[in-house]
Chain A
Amino acid sequence: MSLAVLRLAVVGHTNTGKTSLLRTLTRSVDFGEVSPRPATTRQVEGTAILLGGAAVMELYDTPGLEDSIGLLDLLDGLAGKRRADGLEVVRQFLDSRAAKKRVGQEAKALRQVLECDMALYVIDARVRVLGKHRDELEILARCAKPVVPVLNFTADPAALVALWRDQLARTNMHAVAEFDTVVVDEMSEQRLFEKMRILLDTHAATLDALIEERRELRATLMRASADLTADLLLDAAADVVQVPVDDEPALEKGLEQLRQLVRDREQRSVEQLLGLHQFRDKDYDRGDTPLVNGQWGLDLFSPEAVKQFGLKAGSAAAAGALVGLMLDAMVGGVSGGAMTVAGATVGGLLGAGRTHGRRLLDRARGTTELRCDDNTLRLLALRQIMLARSLLRRGHAAVTPVAAPSPTGLAETLQRSLKRLPSALDQARTRPTWTKLGNSAAPRPAGPGRAAAQANVARAILQVLQRPADQPLMFP
């Protein structure tokens, strides 16, 4: 089965984001050059989208149409008094000397449009509809190729989407796509392909295959993100640090040791997530992910981090996000001081009997165990989910940060959906061998039990990850 190759010319006024659109559609950060200046692209450059190794779509980036008014004057002059066919005149113009001189850039773009099956006309929706835009549309109409207008920067509050749609309708263009190259909506690419399909049914199979492939890839990315998060959560849940009972300095040291292990593990997970989504170090620090320098700005164990996600930092123990264990209460030897016991954690632990014997032994030996509490796990999960969701939406073309509303509403939604942690995490608390933290010197292979638990947790995370956003998902 070989799919018909769809050739697309990306045209538009200067500095409307043609190269950005190409970068986003091809998921390549390196294509062409993007800047907020006019005439950044002055050549025609192509890139092909591959499906199973074979090119199915060729996209050509063109120089911006800058002097459409002058060009239309030229075309009208060429047409003269005879009622010549628009396309004939365009061909005549492209052969003329003028096409090499004054309007050389425009000629390059038009030549490419004639070479292609279809043109994507990129519009900066923040700019008013001007005479030059009408002339650009008029010229494109004379090229006798299907044109899909693409409204860019639609996420900007200044975008004049309705105005543009109305204006385009007046020039008989009704299949208009909205595609913000900075804040990528998961559906906008599919809708763009669908619009193209309406106008070019000869390539419907190609576009369908592309839509399907992109959808699958996205689902796969979601699954993988959930998998990474589950791995992190199991490592954190199973990690245990042993400290002597009733020894405050040692306890503090143990707490800090555990905190540091979990912090480092979270950072590694962040890096893995970024790698998974094909973002490199220099790409992700643009202000529209919740990261600063590729790291969470807020320390995991700071009260603000807990508050940010709407989690209740009720007790002092929860604010520190770690609690001491716990079994002391059961054996009746409640030691005072920092051995704070959080009811929820006790409940979770008493349910599982597996290592109680060992803990009683520990108690007899005068040691106790420290581990992450539920809130820490919840916070870890929420931060990973938020990051994954923001990465799933992120355009590969953004060069400037996005002004975005606060994530509070989203955080609350997520938080509610994670009120109950997956039960496999409770299980993990009683399996210290499941963690890979703190023993990198002697690697312990993870067993099938952990793999099964990871699959369970990942399934739960995936459900949260897939939850449709009630609001645009953007980050400050």
Chain B
Amino acid sequence: MSPSVAFRDRLLAESVRALEHDGSQPIDAPDAEAIAAATAGDFETRLVARARVIAVADRLEPAMRNTGKVFLGIVAIGVLLAAVAGLSAARASLGADNNEVNVSWALGGLLAVQTIMLLAWVVVMVKTPTSLSSLSLGGAAFGVARRMASRWHRSAENAAVIEATGAVFARGAIGRWTLSSISHALWLVFNASCVLGVVLILSTGLYRFVWETTILPADAFTSLTRATAWLPSQLGFPTPSVDQIAASDGSLTPDLSEATRHAWSGLLIGSVVTYGLMPRLGLLVLCVWRQTRARRAYRLDTSRPGYLRLRSRLMPGTKSLGVIDPDTDGEGGLDPVVRSLVASNRTHGGAPALLGVEIEPPATPWPPSVAGVAWRDLGFVDGRADRQRVLGELGNGSDGPSITVAVCGLTTTPDRGIAAFLGDVRQATGVRMAMVLTGGEALRKRADGGQLATRVDDWRALADAIGVAAGDVIELDLDHLTDVSAAKLASLLGVEGAAAVAHRRIEDAFDAIVDHVRGWPPEPDTKQQVSLHQAIGNLYRPEMSSWTQRFRLPDAAGLKDNLPETLRAGAQGIVAMLPRRLKADTRWVASGAIAGALGCVTAAALLSPAAIVALPMWSVVGAAITAVVRATVSSDAAGAAENASDGSARGDAVRGAALFALLLELQGRDEAAITRILDDVVADADFDTPDNVQQSLDAMRHRLDIALAGEAAS
């Protein structure tokens, strides 16, 4: 496109590419790239511009000259050899001892081989031009030159130039015509020196031309010779007449007349010129012309990775338009207008009002049943009409609610619209407002746990902006309402003693673990592990209606039909609750899966002891655990896990049981809270021998105390 880009520049660009080709990154050349990026034109033009000014170009230029010299030198040697070969061919075909030249042999000797080569060239050009590099004289010369050049100049720059030169000059259209040009040039030289040699030999010696045949008729030879002589005679070469041919029959007395000698000499020289030299000359001109055209048409293949990776730097696809309309408030988060709202905190005797703000109805019944609480259900608020309805209802009622509880979804991004509405609600009622954040599990399924924490923070910021006290914002998953979470809700509303909060039993549970471990072999079987889990489950039997929910068991019939899926889902559920740190640790993933699968078995046994007996539990448990571990950790880690668990099956079993006990102890909290506490409590320790099991569990219990104290304080 751009006429300013010369072929040599493109060759330079190719050399730069060959030089940086092996690197993971292109050569770092910010200046050159800046110049190139400022160059007008397409990507290729800019690549060439970069190659021209890049620092290594200074070293590549001499390398290109070196390589050029070597290549020219080799071609020169080739020319020399061709000239020598031509002379010696002339000598060989004429140099008979007795000065008698057999015309057929002389012509054959001078023309046969090169004619065959010419035909071969035509065939190769038509059929497989790519094999020219190995099949032609040009290809051979090129190969030798390449080897010589890489032997003599052993720098990275030279290697790059040789590679680039090879790629450009020995492949594609340029390669086809370059290699052909060299071939034809060499043959041309051969023919020229042949003619020269023949002329020299014939000028300085007396030769007798004869023809001989044993089986062919003499006429055949005559007409063949005339046919051969036709073309040279057209070009003015003297050729033997029919009589002269007949007179040169080797079986007769040879005709030594000058005219006859001239005629035969003319035929010989003329044949080499017309059948050898002229075609080669014509083809050389053709090939050089085509090569020039190919060079002119040559473009860099910008889809080569070495070029393409520069594209974004040299030809950026985007341009920043900057900030059009800057942020004038400068305040992150919520609108300050809402913040100025001050609640009067009036008190009313009415029932607590409950409204769901842009949430889907939760999986548990609405309004959530809390002992001792009769809700004033304001329903769900989805849009403008709902908002007006709720504000109207709250404004009209003579007996205002004692408190409004707004249930918001953690999957929803808090926004100023919601803040404004809740602010309006506060203003309409003038009483304390509490916020329940539900749907944490749904959000966690969507993304990682870190996002959950951020989202909770954002909602707390919103609560703060509308004047809701931090203590009045609780995370509580209404999709999984448990006794304990209902109690939490009750205490938020100030309803006392609504539900019994679980008693602490972790010491007993850990003691049960130690007892069982003492009786275990190094690799406890599934039955032994299940019996430990059942012992732990029995300790928490009073709250079983709460914690068995976690495993979402189907009824007895469903359990029988879907046992593997149920166990896998149970294992998956517990593994999902693990903090990220533990999820990265294969052993803890395995332990979580054990706790989940065996927890399922335990819960099922507690809920319907009769149904569980008939089930083929033992074979399925292991499969479920393996499946979950494999699905959770990357497969290399899973491989490692299999190996590791071969060695410390007891360790995995103990970790699983300890997790199970912790889960039961922490029941009633929503999953995010459990995950947080587990993150604080669980640390890596040895669980291989009964003694260090005792120690490790003690340490864990200690950390649990600290975590629970921290939770109570907040």
Q: Which residues of A contact B (CB under 8 A)?
A: 13-15, 26-28, 31, 35-39, 42-50, 52-53, 55, 58, 60, 63-64, 66-70, 72-73, 100-102, 104-105, 108, 111-112, 126-128, 130-132, 134-135, 156, 158, 220-221, 223-225, 227-228, 268, 271-272, 275-276, 278, 292, 297-298, 302, 304, 308, 400-401, 436, 442-449, 451-452, 476
Within B376-424, which residues are at the interface with A (CB < 8 Å)? 382-387, 411-417, 420-421
Interface centre among A38, A44, A69 (most CB of B within 10 A): A38
The 8 lowest CB-CB distance pairs between A and B, nearest first, are A131-B383, A46-B321, A44-B325, A448-B170, A271-B24, A66-B415, A445-B163, A443-B159
B413: chain A residues within 8 A (beta carbon): 13-15, 37-38
- Per the bound structure, the CA–CA distance linking A15 and B451 in Å amounts to 13
Known contacts A135-B383, A158-B446; is-contact A70 B329 (Cβ 8 Å):
no
Given contacts A38-B415, A46-B322, A46-B323, 13 further A-B contacts (CB under 8 A): A14-B413, A26-B317, A35-B454, A43-B324, A43-B327, A46-B324, A50-B316, A67-B335, A112-B324, A436-B22, A443-B160, A445-B159, A452-B171
B112-155: CB near A (< 8 Å → 1, else 0) gives: 00000000000000000010011000000001001000100011
A44: chain B residues within 8 A (beta carbon): 323-325
- Shortest distance in angstroms between B453's beta carbon and chain A's nearest beta carbon? 10
A45: chain B residues within 8 A (beta carbon): 321-324
B333: chain A residues within 8 A (beta carbon): 38-39
- Per the bound structure, the CA–CA distance linking A275 and B383 in Å amounts to 48
A476 and B634 contacting across the interface, CB-CB below 8 Å = yes
Check: B255 CB closer than 8 A to any chain A CB: no
B384 and A72 contacting across the interface, CB-CB below 8 Å = yes
Known contacts A13-B415, A436-B22; is-contact A132 B383 (Cβ 8 Å):
yes
B451 and A292 contacting across the interface, CB-CB below 8 Å = no
Q: Which residues of B contact A (CB under 8 A)?
A: 18, 22, 24-26, 40, 42, 130, 133-134, 143, 146, 150, 154-156, 158-160, 162-163, 166-167, 170-171, 175, 302-305, 308-309, 312, 315-329, 332-333, 335, 337, 358, 360, 382-387, 411-417, 420-421, 442, 445-448, 451, 454-455, 458, 634-636, 639
A275 and B417 contacting across the interface, CB-CB below 8 Å = no
- Shortest distance in angstroms between A404's beta carbon and chain B's nearest beta carbon? 12
B24 and A268 contacting across the interface, CB-CB below 8 Å = yes
- Per the bound structure, the CA–CA distance linking A108 and B326 in Å amounts to 9
B166 and A448 contacting across the interface, CB-CB below 8 Å = yes
B411: chain A residues within 8 A (beta carbon): 126-127
- Per the bound structure, the CA–CA distance linking A224 and B416 in Å amounts to 48
- Per the bound structure, the CA–CA distance linking A144 and B167 in Å amounts to 58
A131 and B384 contacting across the interface, CB-CB below 8 Å = yes
B24 and A302 contacting across the interface, CB-CB below 8 Å = no
Q: List 25 A-B contacts (CB under 8 A).
A: A13-B413, A35-B454, A37-B455, A38-B415, A42-B327, A44-B324, A46-B323, A48-B320, A49-B317, A58-B321, A60-B324, A63-B327, A72-B384, A130-B382, A131-B382, A131-B385, A220-B308, A275-B25, A292-B634, A302-B636, A443-B154, A446-B167, A447-B170, A449-B134, A451-B166
A297 and B634 contacting across the interface, CB-CB below 8 Å = yes
Known contacts A36-B454, A134-B383, A158-B446; is-contact A104 B329 (Cβ 8 Å):
yes
B414: chain A residues within 8 A (beta carbon): 38
A228: chain B residues within 8 A (beta carbon): 305
B326: chain A residues within 8 A (beta carbon): 43
Quick one: closest A residue to B158, CB to CB?
A: A445
B24 and A272 contacting across the interface, CB-CB below 8 Å = yes
- Per the bound structure, the CA–CA distance linking A474 and B454 in Å amounts to 27
Known contacts A130-B358, A228-B305, A444-B150; is-contact A28 B318 (Cβ 8 Å):
yes
A297 and B325 contacting across the interface, CB-CB below 8 Å = no
B417: chain A residues within 8 A (beta carbon): 66-70, 132
A448 and B383 contacting across the interface, CB-CB below 8 Å = no
B383 and A67 contacting across the interface, CB-CB below 8 Å = no
- Shortest distance in angstroms between B474's beta carbon and chain A's nearest beta carbon? 21
Known contacts A47-B318, A70-B417, A401-B448; is-contact A276 B308 (Cβ 8 Å):
yes
Quick one: closest B residue to A41, CB to CB?
A: B327
Number of CB contacts from chain A to chain B under 8 A:
216
- Per the bound structure, the CA–CA distance linking A68 and B309 in Å amounts to 44
Interface centre among B146, B326, B333, B636 (most CB of A within 10 A): B636
Known contacts A48-B319, A401-B448, A446-B163; is-contact A451 B22 (Cβ 8 Å):
no
- Shortest distance in angstroms between A312's beta carbon and chain B's nearest beta carbon? 17
B636: chain A residues within 8 A (beta carbon): 297-298, 302, 304
- Shortest distance in angstroms between B358's beta carbon and chain A's nearest beta carbon? 5
- Shortest distance in angstroms between A422's beta carbon and chain B's nearest beta carbon? 15
Known contacts A38-B414, A224-B305, A304-B639; is-contact A67 B420 (Cβ 8 Å):
yes
Known contacts A49-B318, A50-B318, A445-B162; is-contact A452 B634 (Cβ 8 Å):
no
B130 and A452 contacting across the interface, CB-CB below 8 Å = yes
- Per the bound structure, the CA–CA distance linking A291 and B3 in Å amounts to 45
Quick one: closest B residue to A115, CB to CB?
A: B324
A55: chain B residues within 8 A (beta carbon): 319
- Per the bound structure, the CA–CA distance linking A234 and B359 in Å amounts to 58
- Shortest distance in angstroms between B525's beta carbon and chain A's nearest beta carbon? 27
B321: chain A residues within 8 A (beta carbon): 45-48, 58, 60
A400 and B335 contacting across the interface, CB-CB below 8 Å = no
B360: chain A residues within 8 A (beta carbon): 128
A220 and B302 contacting across the interface, CB-CB below 8 Å = yes
- Shortest distance in angstroms between B333's beta carbon and chain A's nearest beta carbon? 7
A401: chain B residues within 8 A (beta carbon): 448
A308 and B635 contacting across the interface, CB-CB below 8 Å = yes
With beta carbons under 8 angstroms apart, the residue of B316, B383, B451 that contacts A400 is B451
Known contacts A276-B309, A400-B447; is-contact A445 B160 (Cβ 8 Å):
yes
A126 and B446 contacting across the interface, CB-CB below 8 Å = yes
B386: chain A residues within 8 A (beta carbon): 131
Quick one: closest A residue to B42, CB to CB?
A: A52
B302 and A443 contacting across the interface, CB-CB below 8 Å = no
A272 and B143 contacting across the interface, CB-CB below 8 Å = no
- Shortest distance in angstroms between A399's beta carbon and chain B's nearest beta carbon? 9
- Shortest distance in angstroms between B579's beta carbon and chain A's nearest beta carbon? 16
- Per the bound structure, the CA–CA distance linking A59 and B222 in Å amounts to 87
- Shortest distance in angstroms between B27's beta carbon and chain A's nearest beta carbon? 12
A443 and B156 contacting across the interface, CB-CB below 8 Å = yes
- Per the bound structure, the CA–CA distance linking A302 and B326 in Å amounts to 55
Interface centre among A68, A108, A130, A268 (most CB of B within 10 A): A130
B316 and A69 contacting across the interface, CB-CB below 8 Å = no
- Per the bound structure, the CA–CA distance linking A53 and B38 in Å amounts to 10
A130 and B383 contacting across the interface, CB-CB below 8 Å = yes
- Shortest distance in angstroms between B639's beta carbon and chain A's nearest beta carbon? 5
A69: chain B residues within 8 A (beta carbon): 383-384, 387, 417, 420-421
Quick one: closest B residue to A227, CB to CB?
A: B305
A302: chain B residues within 8 A (beta carbon): 636
Quick one: closest B residue to A22, CB to CB?
A: B318
- Per the bound structure, the CA–CA distance linking A228 and B309 in Å amounts to 11
- Shortest distance in angstroms between A18's beta carbon and chain B's nearest beta carbon? 12
Quick one: closest B residue to A23, CB to CB?
A: B318
Quick one: closest A residue to B325, CB to CB?
A: A44
B639: chain A residues within 8 A (beta carbon): 304
